[in-house]
Amino acid sequence: MSQTFRNSDPDTSRQPVKNKLTLQLICLAAIAQHSPDGICAGELGQLIPHIDGLWKRLSELQSQHLIVRGPAKIYPGTGKWQTTWIAAPEIKEQQQQLNLGGDLNGKEIYWH
């Protein structure tokens, strides 16, 4: 199996691929369920506070064409501009058909 991290990366980047995939699914479900205006990384952290570093998965989801950049907005938590993220149109369509995000591998996910 090929290595998914650089040798110079910190330990937090050396997560098993399965764990990264789970975190990507959690991010994607949250983004897909959010309003059409998009969600920024700070809001994502507020929605799912018990998992640190979900923002790291955003660029991975973008490179897989699962999410797209939305308009920037001021995140009230810091008062700074942040990029918003929106589920790709195909994902929104699939979410409506499959009701994506209510249950992930048998574990209920709660969005606040």
Residues 63-89: pLDDT tens digits? 999 999 999 999 999 999 999 999 998
Residues 13-35: pLDDT tens digits? 665 555 888 899 999 989 988 86
CATH of 16-108, one of 3.40.50.970, 3.40.50.410, 3.30.56.10, 1.10.10.10: 1.10.10.10
SS3 labels along 20-33: HHHHHHHHHHHHHH
The domains of the chain are located at 16-108
Percent of the chain whose pLDDT exceeds 90: 38
Instruction: Could you list the beta-strand ranges (E) of 16-89.
Output: 39-40, 67-69, 73-75, 80-82, 84-87
